[in-house]
Chain A
């Protein structure tokens, strides 16, 4: 099985939404994390924040690893802790999984034995170790000693081990931040596939917006020990754009329409909801045109991201350009900075951000509500989707 095959069941099918109810404070020396929020977890919810913002603490409280937290935590109406009533469900009894950044595999056990560790202690087993070995493509590594594994393999074992404990909620604390970009891309694609197959709600902590943009459907923004924003992923990223905290980007999900191997491109189209026939092209997703399963990607949603600095504007339709993508749009806002101007545009219902020089903004005499064309190269469209098969390098 290649990872580029997304499962056929639609994400909305037999999907139950889990609810986390959080109201707690926890302090370490001078830093206090105070969280008061109900979070509905649909598929994967991302938790974003800088290092030291309190996002890992949030995860550890949910996991039951911070006993000194004051206040209460409940999951799907079941109280996990309540400091007033002196209730505390221990970590081992919460039925919540946690994948750590540093994998924390047991060094005295083989890959298989690490997986068996989780499997042995669960109540109502549904998955078998063999199934999970296949799912996580670890079958050939099962007799290995864990110290011989690569970083990506370690994290796959760590995820497989957590899955075999069959938790009701899986927490992931920066699971791929130590990996190189290619491996990270493999792992994100792989995790998303697993999530959709098992319908297991996940909370995914990261300080990388691009990772979260690909993996999460909803984003919780944590800063200075508090939750500052909760929104669907694209809205949340656009909200962060406006706060000026990250490099400004357009975040959107598009449907894969067709592969054009002769041009080296894949064509994406907007959702049916958005009343436009426009297409966006990006470098061909299926690297190997011989692969029979490349067709199966068609019709799937692909989260992608375009940096504002990669989008340029044109007053007329740029038909005679090497730049592949150009779309008609309407300017909805112009913000001038010291060195450049940030132009917010709308193409159908989709918002785009373009960052151009002050000089260009003045020369082109841009105004709000003006109709204009935006253009960007195919390789300005970024997606973490991994199209190769996982290698055991």
Chain B
């Protein structure tokens, strides 16, 4: 009989454990529902820090239950296409919001340019003061993937403008997104890289800002998702991001403010 007890006890304890878990999950679900329904903002990973800073300054922010969900733009796009319960989508590019709009997954006329990205040449190993540093550079250069990441595309365009692309092409380290590129340079794994200026500003670093006419503008657009049940609040947030104060704030964070160069947006205001 001595042997029977432990096996019996272990069975009972297993049953208890399962019971506890089920209980925990149900109570958990109830507490979730008790709260106000959250507004879910899906944001491109590189804009998430800036968005948090903007929302922290928002008046009456305690009234709203805002959830920030950050991931790569491509991932968020795929998830929205497959029914992700997001309300507002801040993309790192203009392409994905356009595609969502074409697929009728967005609220009509909700697509707006909310920021323009800027790129900069930067090194964590030595001070870089001029783009000339690239001319005779023979080491590895980190940029985001030009095929998939808007900041990578811009970097490629700038290098092409400088006629350095054919030479430097074989020495590139491409990150899956601009955050990875920034980490590669920051960790000194790659001596030199083209990163987002906002990344430098927010981390109190400085590099050489690449002139905006070297590359197509990095247009970052937002859309309100059609399935959202909180369209009013989503619109409110969207308006808040686009208002002058916020845009000024973004400028101080290393973005270019959305100006009259985007007449479409301006006309609606």
Residues of A within 8 A of B (CB): 108-110, 113
Residues of B contacting A113 with CB < 8 Å? 3
**Min CB distance, A146 to chain B, in Å?**
13
Residues of A contacting B3 with CB < 8 Å? 108-110, 113
Residues of B contacting A108 with CB < 8 Å? 3
Q: What are 4 residue pairs bridging A and B, where the CB atoms are less than 8 Å apart in the complex?
A: A108-B3, A109-B3, A110-B3, A113-B3
Secondary structure type dominating chain B contacts: loop
Shortest 4 CB-CB contacts between residues of A and residues of B: A113-B3, A109-B3, A110-B3, A108-B3
Residues of B contacting A110 with CB < 8 Å? 3
**Min CB distance, A87 to chain B, in Å?**
35
Interface residues of B in 137-186 (CB under 8 A from A): none
Q: Which residue of A lies closest to B3 (CB)?
A: A113
Interface residues of B in 1-60 (CB under 8 A from A): 3
CA distance A108 to B3 in the complex (A): 9
CA distance A108 to B4 in the complex (A): 12
Q: Which residue of B lies closest to A109 (CB)?
A: B3
**Min CB distance, B4 to chain A, in Å?**
9
CA distance A132 to B3 in the complex (A): 21
**Min CB distance, A145 to chain B, in Å?**
12
**Min CB distance, A126 to chain B, in Å?**
22
CA distance A108 to B7 in the complex (A): 12
CA distance A110 to B3 in the complex (A): 9
CA distance A215 to B3 in the complex (A): 37
CA distance A113 to B6 in the complex (A): 14
**Min CB distance, B215 to chain A, in Å?**
72
**Min CB distance, A2 to chain B, in Å?**
33
**Min CB distance, A347 to chain B, in Å?**
60
**Min CB distance, B267 to chain A, in Å?**
81
Interface string of B84-100 (1 = CB under 8 A from A): 00000000000000000
CA distance A149 to B220 in the complex (A): 79
Q: Which residue of B lies closest to A108 (CB)?
A: B3
Residues of B contacting A109 with CB < 8 Å? 3
CA distance A113 to B1 in the complex (A): 8
**Min CB distance, B55 to chain A, in Å?**
61
Q: Which residue of B lies closest to A113 (CB)?
A: B3
Most chain B beta carbons < 10 A, residue from A108, A109, A113: A113
**Min CB distance, B246 to chain A, in Å?**
69
**Min CB distance, B165 to chain A, in Å?**
68
CA distance A181 to B95 in the complex (A): 89
CA distance A96 to B263 in the complex (A): 93
**Min CB distance, B18 to chain A, in Å?**
25
CA distance A12 to B3 in the complex (A): 43
**Min CB distance, B43 to chain A, in Å?**
57
